[in-house]
Homo-oligomer: A and B are copies of this chain.
């Protein structure tokens, strides 16, 4: 897809989306859409690609009170759309697999879901990557998942904090007996998981490394880490709310 807006324009739009509503704590999303072909045609080469962006008060995958106790996770037998079908490195909302998995999760009283790959290994959930402490080190699935921004940030934090972390693979069964589990997402940072299926993880409270990473993440974020300052304009008289 080709964007009608340049990277510089997109940067400006993202800033204006925070400045104009006066948000001090915002969630900004930028999206490219294929657009649609002329009516009666299915030739997607004729689509006019569009750029869209929106901002809203910061959105949490899980509210802070749920994060404090840790989320409950359902491991679905449903298979994440495999790389042979759609490249998982492209961020998109082609989420029918996740959505059906979420219904399964809700049906069994869990708050969110993780899908498996064709070989039965854990992959990712709707909008997040997963990390688990297995045999003394943090492991996150290596293949068939989005290379999420907060996943990368977690690797960076682990390096700085001297926490061992590797890409690897594990089954839902191994996940259920992990010492710690957390999710990563730009819509929530580092999110503790304290229940997987019917298994309580460790003592049922967020794990030591999880809390350490979570605290460091927000401490750094508050200090402007991986951030770009927004320049708020003075309100224009008469437009001021």
Residues of A within 8 A of B (CB): 34, 39-40, 42-45, 56-57, 59, 61, 78-82, 84-86, 92, 94, 96-97, 99-100, 102-103, 106, 118, 126-127
Contacts and interface: CB of A to CB of B under 8 A. Distances in A.
Nearest to A79: B84
B94 A85 contact: no
A42 B61 contact: yes
A186 to B, nearest CB: 13
5 contacts: A40-B59, A79-B84, A85-B85, A86-B97, A118-B118
A83 to B, nearest CB: 9
B82 A85 contact: yes
Given A79-B82, A94-B94, 11 more contacts: A42-B61, A43-B106, A78-B84, A79-B85, A81-B85, A81-B86, A81-B97, A82-B85, A82-B118, A85-B97, A86-B96
A34 B84 contact: no
A203 B97 CA distance: 43
Nearest to A77: B84
A117 to B, nearest CB: 10
B84 A118 contact: yes
B40 A103 contact: no
A96 B94 contact: yes
A103 B44 contact: yes
A39 B61 contact: no
B86 A100 contact: yes
A67 to B, nearest CB: 15
Contacts of A100: 86
B92 A85 contact: no
A55 to B, nearest CB: 11
Query: Which 4 pairs, one residue from A and one from B, show the smallest C-beta to C-beta distance?
Result: A79-B84, A94-B96, A85-B97, A79-B85
A34 to B, nearest CB: 7
Contacts of A57: 40
A36 B201 CA distance: 33
From A42, A94, A97, name the one whose CB has the most chain B CB atoms within 10 angstroms: A42
Contacts of A56: 39-40
Nearest to A115: B85
Contacts of A40: 56-57, 59
